């Protein structure tokens, strides 16, 4: 749940930054989404 929320917040922040004109920063933050989800998957899979 935590990783899904973090990825969602990152996505929303990325979209916000894109539309206020900070496109490069928005793209950078948008790259965090798959990284956060991958980290969550790795940590949760290692738990089992």
Note the pLDDT of residue 10: 96
pTM of the predicted model as reported, rounded to 2 decimal places: 0.81
Note the pLDDT of residue 23: 94
Note the pLDDT of residue 47: 72
DSSP 1-48: -HHHHHHHHHHHHHHHHHHTT-HHHHHHHHTHHHHHHHHHHHHHHHH-
Note the pLDDT of residue 48: 66
Residue 25: exposure state from Cβ atoms within 10 A (0-12, 13-18, ≥19): middle
Per-residue pLDDT tens for 1-48?
Answer: 899 999 999 999 999 999 999 999 999 999 999 999 999 999 989 776
Domain limits, the chain: 2-42
């Amino acid at each position: 749940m935590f990783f899904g929320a973090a990825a969602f917040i990152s996505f929303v922040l990325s979209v916000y930054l894109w539309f206020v004109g900070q496109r490069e920063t928005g793209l950078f933050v948008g790259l965090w989404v798959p990284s956060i989800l991958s980290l969550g998957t790795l940590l949760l899979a290692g738990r089992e």
